[in-house]
Structures are given as C-alpha cells and as structure tokens.
C-alpha cells in the first residue's frame, strides 16, 4: 500500500502558485460569505484565510447573522460581483434553512464562482467546456494525476451523488475517459459495485461504511468522508483494514481535505488571470 498524500501534493501546488504570484507581483482576492456561526464552517474558513494570506492573496470574511434575510445576502453578492477588486466569491455551506441555497449560489457571477456550483459552471463541466470546477472533485483528479494514476479506461465507482462531490466527479471522470458507476443511498447491494472498482471514491459521511471485503485487491481508494466523533476524525473507509489490500489509499485526515483548499486558491488565481487578461 502507498499513501495518496494530499498534504505533500498541496504543498507542491501552493509553492508553485506562490512563485507565480510573487513573480508577477499580483494580489488575487477571495471573499467568503458566512451566514450564522457553524463551528465546522469557522474552522474551514480560518483554514482558507490562512492559506490565502500565506500565498499573498487578499482575503475578506463577510459575516451575516443566522436570521438575516435572503435580500441582504443577494445584495452583498451583487456588490461583490461588481467590485473589480474582488476575484473569487464563495458562500460557505451550510446556510440556515430559511434561505434558498440554489438562489444564493446562482447569484454569484459564474466568472467569480470559485466553488464551481452555479448552474452555468455545472452545465459547462457536463459539456466538457472550460469552467471553474468544484474544489474537492477537482482536487481528487489532481491528486490522482500527481500520483501517477492513469484514469482512461478505468472502472471508477463513486459512492455518493451530492452536487458538491459525487455529481461533478461523474463529469470529471467521464471527461477523462473512465467508465463510471454511481452508487447512493438507494443502491441495492453496494458491495457488488465497489468490489469491482479500479478506482473507488467514497463521499457519504458514514464512518467506516467501506470495509475490506468491499474493495478490489490492488485498487485505488479515495476517501472523501469526514466524520467527527468524540473530537477525532474518521473517513468513510475502514482505513486500517483496507490499506493492506489496495495499492493506493488516501488517509483521513491528510488526503482529500488538503487538496480542496489548494484547488480553491488555484481557482482564485484562475479568476484573477481571466478577469485581468493575464
Ligand atoms: P451529502 O450528505 O450531500 O451526500 C451524501 C451522499 O451519500 C448522498 O448522495 C447519499 O445518497 C449517499 N449515501 C448516504 N448513505 C449511503 C449509503 N448507505 N450507501 C451509499 N451511499 C449513501 O454529503 P457530501 O457533501 O457529498 O459529503 C460527503 C462526505 O464528504 C461528508 O463526510 C463530508 O464531510 C465530506 N466532505 C469532505 C470534503 C473534503 O474536502 N475532504 C469536501 C466535501 C465533503
């Protein structure tokens, strides 16, 4: 078994990006909107801020109270869309139930949508057109590429069909000529699918859903799951028992998570380049 080391690949990617930013003497900027005070969101935003500042980017954290109105958020997004000093815009999920997630995400102009969640970017991805791609799925493909895993012709099984992870991955793997199967909560006999996967990606949010008998020998396993139990982090894969059967596996933490934030900053830099014709 070899580790798919997200921390190492993240460092390499961000070093490369920092060199570009320093050499060009530019300052790409990211604005993050937070609604409410979700504790996991606080950690994720701090992490984004730290990474952005270390790179030499500008970072703006805009906070709204839990009971704010949808209009307040939409007005703020309009202002950021029209502000030439702002490149990337994202709304940290989850947001309070009284707000319409789709309406809010789609208000971000697609050229600044660094989370790749607007209908325009999702549609472009499906049609294999140049676009901003959701960070976690993009990070998974990058991690495989950087680790020398070839995708064309592979039998890829994705467990989970969320719009954040599973669905964009379908397009990304198809666009890379893989044969793709998607499993979800209503799939009967999950194991029949997972045990035939050359590349298995699991994005569910259930500790140790995937056990050793469910994976193919010498396959590649990507564990996206983050399950916080009693202050400890677990993936969706029973890592200790699966790791000796497969050829490559991501740890949790230290696998997909670091790649997500690296791809976000890559997206911010792409927006800067696109908006400034550089
Ligand atoms: P989600 O809740 O939106 O989707 C979960 C998916 O799992 C659904 O499509 C559902 O159909 C499927 N599912 C549920 N139970 C199942 C079962 N028993 N068998 C098969 N499929 C089942 O979640 P999400 O936003 O895609 O996140 C999934 C996990 O990945 C979570 O743990 C989340 O914290 C983590 N995550 C990690 C990163 C990262 O950067 N590492 C990024 C995003 C999400």
216-238: pLDDT as tens digits: 999 999 999 999 999 999 999 99
pLDDT band at 96 (very low <50, low <70, confident <90, very high): very high
Please, is 206 exposed, middle or buried when counting C-beta atoms within 10 Å of its C-beta (0-12, 13-18, 19+)? middle
Provide, rounded to the nearest whole percent, the portion of the chain with pLDDT above 70.
Answer: 100
- Residue in the structure block whose two tokens are 């320093």: 22
* Residue 78 designated active-site: no
Give the per-residue pLDDT at 1.
Answer: 79
141-161: pLDDT as tens digits: 999 999 999 999 999 999 999
236 Cα to the center of ligand 1, angstroms: 9
206 Cα to the center of ligand 1, angstroms: 8
Q: How far apart are the first and last CA of the chain?
A: 42
224 Cα to the center of ligand 1, angstroms: 8
Cβ(258) to ligand 1 under 6 A? no
Cβ(256) to ligand 1 under 6 A? yes
Tell the residue nearest (CA) to atom 34 of ligand 1: 226
Asked if 206 and 241 count as a contact pair (C-beta separation under 8 A), the reply is: no
* Residue 92 designated active-site: yes
Q: State the average pLDDT over residues 205-215.
A: 98
Give the per-residue pLDDT at 123.
Answer: 98
* Residue 48 designated active-site: yes
Provide, rounded to the nearest whole percent, the portion of the chain with pLDDT above 90.
Answer: 98
212 Cβ neighbours under 8 A, 6+ residues apart: 238, 241, 242, 245
Return the ligand 1 atom nearest residue 256 CA: 41
Give the per-residue pLDDT at 102.
Answer: 97
């Amino acid at each position: 078994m070899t580790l798919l080391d997200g921390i190492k690949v993240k460092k390499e990617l961000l070093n490369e990006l920092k060199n570009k930013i320093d050499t060009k003497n530019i300052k790409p900027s990211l604005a993050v909107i937070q609604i409410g005070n979700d504790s996991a969101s606080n950690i994720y935003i701090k992490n984004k801020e730290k990474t952005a500042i270390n790179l030499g980017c500008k970072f703006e954290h805009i906070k709204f109270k839990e009971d704010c109105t949808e209009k307040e958020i939409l007005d703020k997004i309009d202002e950021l869309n029209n502000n030439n000093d702002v490149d990337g815009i994202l709304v940290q999920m989850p947001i309070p139930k009284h707000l319409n997630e789709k309406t809010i995400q789609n208000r971000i102009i697609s050229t600044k949508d660094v989370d790749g969640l607007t209908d325009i970017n999702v549609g472009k991805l499906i049609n294999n057109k140049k676009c901003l791609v959701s960070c976690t799925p993009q990070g998974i493909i990058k991690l495989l590429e950087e680790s020398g895993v070839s995708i064309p012709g592979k039998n890829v099984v994705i467990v989970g069909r969320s719009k954040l992870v599973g669905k964009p991955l379908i397009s990304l793997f198809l666009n890379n000529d893989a044969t793709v199967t998607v499993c979800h909560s209503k799939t009967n006999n999950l194991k029949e699918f997972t045990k035939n996967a050359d590349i298995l990606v699991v994005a569910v949010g259930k500790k140790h859903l995937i056990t050793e008998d469910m994976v193919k020998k010498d396959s590649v396993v990507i564990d996206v799951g983050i399950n916080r139990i009693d202050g400890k982090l677990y993936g969706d894969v029973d890592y200790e028992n699966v790791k000796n059967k497969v050829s490559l596996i991501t740890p949790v933490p230290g696998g997909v998570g670091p790649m997500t934030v690296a791809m976000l900053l890559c997206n911010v830099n792409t927006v800067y380049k696109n908006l400034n014709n550089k």
